[in-house]
Amino acid sequence: MIRTEEEARAYVAGLTDAEGMARLDTFAALVLDENQRQNLIAKATEPHLWQRHIADSAQLLENVSRETLGPNAGGPWLDLGSGPGFPGLVIAALCPRMPVVLVESRARRVDFLNRAIEALGLPKCRVEGQRLERVAAFPARAISARAFAPLPKLLELSAPFSTRGTVYVLPKGRSAAQELESLKPSIRAMFHVKHSLTDSDAGIIVKA
């Protein structure tokens, strides 16, 4: 279990190289600066940015195969309701050769995401600044979402982007098991809950 900022940084460092950590340090500084102008993250979590947001996002990679993360694995990684970039922009910073699409409809968040992508030097990452329903469908290699919608609605909206091989990694906090139970048995059987490394009470709904 990751309990401190030091442990969070050490964990993330084990997933990337010095350039990846530099990108994430830049991103962390951008988030904290922009948080003075718009509410990207709760003020109370600012001192725990690496544990609560960056490592919490990075851990999703543990549930995705190396082949899926490679540059030639097919369509982009699709992140729904990206907000300030958790988890999607963290994933892009850790895997800069992988195409990543961030879907975010709020204009000020879109502006921040675009500025962050430029600052981090992530040409494979782009923002769809509109509601998911308006985004032209494409096959996604993986789909992530943090606080986007209840699970049944999330699966309904993401269906046009999902193929037989699409991986789902959905951090759902303490409601993970309950949300999974809300699915029809035939659909529920395709998913399972993994424990979060950053919160002992939280879960990640995974379809690999």
Q: What pLDDT sits at residue 72?
A: 77
Assign domain 5-207 to its CATH architecture. Answer: 3-Layer(aba) Sandwich (3.40)
* Residues whose CB falls within 8 Å of the CB of residue 143, separated by 6 or more in sequence, listed in order: 77, 78, 79, 80, 158, 161, 162, 166, 167, 168, 169, 170
pLDDT tier for residue 113 given thresholds of 50, 70 and 90: very high
Residue 129: pLDDT over 80: yes
Q: What pLDDT sits at residue 73?
A: 79
What pTM, to 2 d.p., does this model score?
0.96
Identify the residue whose tokens are 């907000």. Answer: 83
Domain boundaries, the chain: 5-207
Q: What pLDDT sits at residue 106?
A: 97
Look at 208 and 196; give whichever has higher pLDDT. Answer: 196
For every residue of 1-14, DSSP letters joined together read ---SHHHHHHHHHT
Mean pLDDT, rounded, of the chain: 96
Q: Which two tokens stand for residue 16?
A: 């990337």
- Under 8 Å between Cβ of 208 and 181: no
Q: What would the mean pLDDT of 131-135 be, rounded to a whole number?
A: 97
